[in-house]
Structures are given as C-alpha cells and as structure tokens.
C-alpha cells in the first residue's frame, strides 16, 4: 500500500524553497533590471510564468492522483493505478483500448509473471475495467504468495463476449492464455454487472454472458482449470470522491444503505449459483461483502479515513489490496476439478 504522506511533505517543502529561491534569484534581479522600464516589460515577463503555473495546475487536476489538490480530511489518497505487473511496464501497457492503447506484440509477455515455483498456479485475469481494478490484489498475490499473475484489461469489453465472439484483440489474448495455462491454474473473470446511473440493477447482457461462461467452464474442466467470478461491489452515487466529506463515526456523506445495495447484487449472485450447480470448477468470490461487511448498516467508499475507491464503482490500489487476505484463503480452499 502506497502512502502519499511523503508526497505531500515534499510538495510543500518544494513550494516553500521554490518561493524563497525565486525571490533571491529572480525577483530581486528583475526589480533592478526593470527599475527604469515601462510596466509593459513586467507584464511580458510575467506572462510565461503565468502560463507555466497554469499548465502545472491543469496537469495536477487531470492526474489520476491529485493529492495536493483535494485532501478533504482523508488520512491520505491511495494511488488509483500502479506499475503492473510488478516488473518492467506500467498498467496502461496492460490495457487495450483502441485506437489509443493497441495490443502490442509483447503485451502478453510484459503483462504476465510466472509463479515463484512450478507447483504454484497462475491467475489469468480477464475482463473489462472491473478486472483491471484488481491490480492491487494481484500484486499482493504475486509478491506475498508467489502466484503467477496475468492481467490485460480490455476497456468496455467483458470476457467472454455475450455473443460468444470477442474482439480480435481479446481473442488473441485468450488464445495466448490457452497455450500457456497449465493444470491447476485459475481464470478470474471481472466485469461490470450493474448499471452505474439511476436505479442500480443488473445489466441486460448478464444472462447471455453467464451462458458463455458456462461453455468456457466446461471446456476448462477438461484442462483441470477452475474459473472464479468476482462478484459485483457496491456502486456509489458521487461524481467525485473528493465530494465525500467525512462525517461522524468515520462515515462519509457518500455512504449508502447496505440493504438497498445488496438486492441487485443478490440477484446476480443467484444467477451465478444457478450456473455453478452444473460446473464443479466454477466459483464466485464475494467481493461485495469484503468491501461492505454484512454487519454494517451502511456501505462506505472510505475505511479508517482512507478511500477504497478511485471513482464511484472502481477500487483504488488500497481497496483492491484489502481483498488479499480472504481471497488468498479462498484460493487455498479450492479443490482442482
């Protein structure tokens, strides 16, 4: 888990020393230089500084982790993304979103890490951005437990496709996975299950998607490979996490009632269980209860003063990392088909 405390300290120290240095090295000399000049020279010299400052503020505003712009009472703001896998590339290399993020010839190699030893399985994680936001969990599984990990997010495209025909890029990735997977491995499916706006309810393609999952599960049973579906997580209503003001008892103004949120999630879970009954190598991990435990009345996007989400329906690195303890136990309890 990455803390941004040091980031903030360095930011304020840099600002302080930059201000002092600019006075002695720049402002004093400029005053002498412009003492007998018309005011127009001052304005012309100020313009580049204003443009540079504006660009800097705009860059912070557009960044994924605008730490110095919006602390809002949080203990710190975890990163939304991290270098993934834990070797020589960044997460966005492991994201396919045409045309700006194409599938490269070496994407498969750069976005896969083999297990620490041959007896350990690899987790082949497939899906849209709700597979992508599991990177914190996967990094923990690789670093702490030695599992092999693979993740290439196909933005806006769940796997498998409800029609049974994936995009060429996703199909190429899946074919590459099939050639590399071994007995005892896991295919982990993450996707958006629920509508993001208005009434939260199951998306209309879920039934067809589950039928395709069933077909793949049957095929993978012959290869002694299990499938794990990551359940939906709570979807919040805020436009920006930084609008979620902390309130009493460690709650926030963005908290939502658990009993309202669990209804559409239970609908999804029941549909998965119906498919699961026909496949001994199909499992579902209840991520909803990890993020919003059953004993709580309200679900919150913040825990102990630390945000779990990067937006209203995606976990940040910290939110994903907290799945590690129970998910690793969950894996150990799975009996290969």
| Separation CA 33–CA 146 (nearest Å) | 63
Whether the CB-CB separation of 134 and 126 falls below 8 Å is answered with: no
Phi-psi region of 192 (alpha: psi -120 to 50; beta: other; left: phi over 0): beta
Whether the CB-CB separation of 82 and 142 falls below 8 Å is answered with: no
Would you call 95 helix, strand, or coil by DSSP?
Answer: strand
> So what's the pLDDT on residue 2?
39
> So what's the pLDDT on residue 151?
94
Beta bridge partners, 151, equal: 125
> So what's the pLDDT on residue 93?
84
CA 293 to chain centre: 20
Model confidence, pTM? 0.79
> So what's the pLDDT on residue 248?
63
| Separation CA 192–CA 234 (nearest Å) | 11
* Token output for 44: 């012309």
Please state whether beta strands 186-190 and 122-127 pair in parallel, antiparallel, or not at all (unpaired): parallel
Stretch (H or E) spanning 52: helix 39-62
Residues of the chain with pLDDT under 70: 1-12, 14, 22-47, 49, 53, 56-73, 84-91, 247-250
Give the relative orientation of helices 324-332 and 135-145 as an angle to the nearest 10 degrees.
Answer: 60
Q: Where are the alpha helices (DSSP H) in 63-134?
A: 107-110, 129-132
Beta bridge partners, 246, equal: 252
Please tell me whether the peptide bond between 115 and the residue prior to it is cis, using omega within 30 degrees of 0.
Answer: no
Please tell me whether the peptide bond between 85 and the residue prior to it is cis, using omega within 30 degrees of 0.
Answer: yes
Stretch (H or E) spanning 22: helix 5-22
Whether the CB-CB separation of 308 and 127 falls below 8 Å is answered with: no
């Amino acid at each position: 888990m990455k803390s941004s405390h040091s980031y903030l300290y360095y930011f304020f120290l840099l600002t302080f020393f930059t201000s002092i240095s600019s006075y002695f090295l720049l402002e004093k000399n400029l005053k002498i230089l412009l003492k007998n000049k018309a005011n127009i020279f001052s304005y012309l010299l100020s313009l580049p500084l204003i443009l540079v400052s504006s660009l800097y503020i705009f860059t912070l505003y557009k960044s994924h982790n605008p730490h110095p712009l919006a602390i809002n009472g949080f203990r710190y703001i975890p990163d939304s993304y991290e270098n993934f896998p834990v070797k020589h590339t960044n997460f966005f290399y492991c994201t396919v979103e045409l045309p700006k993020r194409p599938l490269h010839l070496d994407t498969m190699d750069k976005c896969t890490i083999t297990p620490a030893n041959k007896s350990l399985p690899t987790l082949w994680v497939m899906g849209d951005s709700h597979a992508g936001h599991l990177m914190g969990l996967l990094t923990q599984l690789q670093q702490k437990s030695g599992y092999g990990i693979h993740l290439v997010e196909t933005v806006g495209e769940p796997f498998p496709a409800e029609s049974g025909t994936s995009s060429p890029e996703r199909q190429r990735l899946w074919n590459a996975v099939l050639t590399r997977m071994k007995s005892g491995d896991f295919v982990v499916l993450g996707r958006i299950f629920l509508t993001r706006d208005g009434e939260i309810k199951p998306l209309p393609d879920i039934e067809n998607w589950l039928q395709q999952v069933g077909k793949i599960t049957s095929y993978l049973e012959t290869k002694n490979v299990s499938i794990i579906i990551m359940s939906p997580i709570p979807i919040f209503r805020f436009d920006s996490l930084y609008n979620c003001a902390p309130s009493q008892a460690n709650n926030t103004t963005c908290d939502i009632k658990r009993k309202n949120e669990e209804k559409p999630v239970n609908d999804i879970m029941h549909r998965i269980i119906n498919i699961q009954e026909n496949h001994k190598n199909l499992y579902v991990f209840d991520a909803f209860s990890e993020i919003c435990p059953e004993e709580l009345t309200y679900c919150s996007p913040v825990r102990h003063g630390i945000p779990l989400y990067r937006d209203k329906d995606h976990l940040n690195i910290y939110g994903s990392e907290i799945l590690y303890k129970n998910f690793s136990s969950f894996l150990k309890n799975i009996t290969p088909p």
